[in-house]
Structure 1
């Protein structure tokens, strides 16, 4: 069985979901930010300036910079309420309406009478946004913090700026622990670019959609129809007979991860296909795939749940048995 998004109609579009401009603390105007991403081969970006009163709560309008080959998603980095360490929340919200109501967040310090992080995340999701926990390691998120954001669709597992300038760019431990507690979450790699130093073009998502429009991209993000990368490409993932098969660009390592410390891998030179026997990992509640190239760059699949795939296969077998003339399920 080929897994989503690789079995889904459409094509892959490359995008960055976390970027800043001089509307807040970035160095470049929005038009130039969009120009640079387009020049670097991106199909879309979300310009997510800081949603605080210091800059009059901007949801930066990037609609003038869309064209037939490049589009934008409106969004913001939301800040409201205190984490357990006393710092203000950082929450990514992509696909916000332009009239999203401001919170009472005058600056980057928590104040009395403002929404909590969970409350503003819930409000953003209800307004139609794709919501993610931003840079968990850099933010010093505790697991109690992470658990509290029940409106999140995703965890930012790689933040290029936080990695480059603080060596705190991962969110993988947060994601894995939440998955093991039963949360159904996806993972995103982003830049968080401010263009004051080399902090752009280091992490992105590859979204499978029928067209490069804000509506189609946002629907695909919410449905988990994407993978994340620093460079490698994933061309397909199959789950079959206790094995995971992966097709990818040239790699040295392909890993299947499971809860706890469980993982298994294949290594080699210029691997473009790998079949990994799962063994005991086949009983895991969730699995995900990492592809690593010879430069150490990674691509990450979203998690998948083997029990769900077994249920789908059983339903397909039942449908085939009841209607022998029906087309067979997709391989």
Structure 2
């Protein structure tokens, strides 16, 4: 069974998935040959672990995503990379777990064994060492069918406004840069990421996270910061005001408004929308994984290639819909989308 849908170019593609091509910056006829030259890779770019405010060990989280069919994952903890020595009190780890669930340590030991888990201290005051990203990689990347992309949620603030920007494929941690306004704070952090990208000669993707979190970023501000090419049109965290309210537009409405302003006032290409989990809880609770993701078209499962593909717009964001093929006809200004159907 095949499902095919033709839609006008500028029609927003429903609530559950979004697609953009860079027609704005490439007005000439656009080739769609890339559809034949690679494959789709599923990934999540916004994930938290015990390295910041998540409630499980990073390798337990990675294990879940790989078992669920993801091809790549970014652990994006707040203002930190998973590097160096970090010991955490066992009591603090267990306290983060939701009530009624079996022990975090017990599940960790069952999955990875006593030889892998590092404990120190006397009973009642034990600490556990959190594994680094480089220690975890060999367990999950050894067959070339899964990739961990180093990332950070640059967590900044201007007055009461929370400015969080994910940086994907970082080489070094980036400290929050601050600023004298929401716009300046965004720009300062984006500029620092760009400087690192140029200095290390590696592509780094940034996306503004949850603009409605504490009602922090308006459509006008997002439109003005034309340096930012991506933002979370969907974030799976239940506390980020995704749907807006009577006084604030939803994230999807922000997307429409910001893109309209970018094209009309700033002569800038439109924003791309990504979907992410922003997962924190892995033992029950409502900030769980598996809610939103991106599907990236790439020739290979490689961090640089995946970032470059997303920068070209060769991806879509989803909370459920899976696409088999996407084609764009320049003459009719329509997309031809083939959806993989599901029962029910």
Question: Using a 3 Å threshold, how does the CA distance of structure 1 residues 103 and 48 change in structure 2: closer, same or farther?
Answer: same
1:92 matched to which residue of 2? 166
Q: Structure 1 residues 132, 33: closer, same or farther in 2, change over 3 A?
A: same
TM-score (norm 2): 0.61
SS of the residue aligned with 1:25? coil
Q: Is the 8 A contact 2:223 2:259 kept in 1?
A: no
Please name the residue that 2:277 is paired with.
191
1:92 match: secondary structure: strand
The aligned residue for residue 155 of structure 1 is 231
Over residues 47-90 of structure 1, what are the superposed CA-to-partner deviations in whole Å (9 max), with x where a residue is unaligned? 11011xxxxx335653433411110111111122417xx22311
User: Could you list the per-position Cα deviations for residues 133-171 of structure 1 after superposition, in whole angstroms to 9, with x for gaps in the alignment?
Assistant: 111223412134313433212111010113xx5552652
RCO higher in 1 or 2 (8 Å CA, sep ≥ 6)? 2
Distance in 1 between residues matched to 2:331 and 2:150, nearest whole Å: 42
Counterpart selection for 1:117 from 186, 210, 233: 186
1:294 shift after superposition: 9.0
Which structure has greater strand proportion? 1
- Say which of 47, 63, 78 aligns to 1:19: 47
- Give the C-alpha shift of residue 247 in structure 1: 2.8
8 Å CA contact 1:48, 1:75 repeated in 2: yes
Is 1:62 aligned with 2:133?
A: yes
Map 1:292-303; keep pairs closer than 5 Å.
none
SS of the residue corresponding to residue 146 of structure 1 reads: helix
Deviation (angstroms), 1:4: 5.0
1:59–1:76 contact (8 Å) kept in structure 2: no
The separation in 1 between residues aligned to 2:177 and 2:187, in whole angstroms, is 14
Q: 2:326 aligns to what?
A: 236
Distance 2:196 2:177 in 1: 18
Cα distance change, pair 127–139 in 1 and its aligned pair in 2 (3 A): farther
Cα separation, 1, equivalents of 2:162 and 2:240: 18
- Structure 1 distance, partners of 2:306, 2:33, is 13
TM-fit CA distance, 1:101:
4.1
CA RMSD of aligned residues (A): 2.9
* Residues 1:28 and 2:97 are matched in the alignment: no
Q: Secondary structure at the match of 1:116?
A: helix
C-alpha contact (below 8 Å) 1:117/1:149 kept by paired residues: yes
Ranges in structure 1 where 5+ consecutive residues have no aligned partner: 52-56, 252-292, 296-331
Distance 1:294 1:160, change over 3 A: farther
Matched, 1:42 2:70: yes
**SS of residue in 1 equivalent to 2:150:** strand
Pair 177,58 (structure 1): closer, same or farther in 2 beyond 3 Å: same
TM-score (norm 1): 0.64
- Structure 2 residue runs without a partner (length 5+): 1-28, 84-131, 198-203, 244-249
